[in-house]
Amino acid sequence: MFKVVDVNRLSISALSDTDRARSFSKLWAKPEDLAVIAEEYALHTKVGKRFADDVVKFSEKNKTFKNFKKRLKGKPVTD
């Protein structure tokens, strides 16, 4: 697999807990699986206690929005 990364648009900065949770929420997984991943991540990093809850909340919000866009375009929603 070959991928091109545009480093001119890449920004390197410190991430807040909310930014980290939003990044995890883009993984398309079941809420239970995502909670396990987020809890393991929280054990190995210095994030807040509500990190796993935030990840699941942002994930559901992301999935709802993406599925809404699919419905508007007339595409089938599989989950």
pLDDT tens readout for residues 4-53: 777 777 778 888 999 999 988 888 889 999 999 999 999 999 888 899 99
Q: Is 2 within the bounds of a domain?
A: no
pTM to 2 decimal places: 0.75
Q: Is 7 within the bounds of a domain?
A: no
Domain that includes residue 53, residue range: 18-72
The count of domains in the chain is: 1
Q: What is the pLDDT of residues 45-79, one digit of tens each?
A: 988 889 999 999 999 999 999 999 999 999 998 87
Q: Is 59 within the bounds of a domain?
A: yes
Q: Is 53 within the bounds of a domain?
A: yes
What letter does residue 3 receive in the DSSP assignment?
A: -
- Residues 55, 35 contacting (CB under 8 angstroms): yes
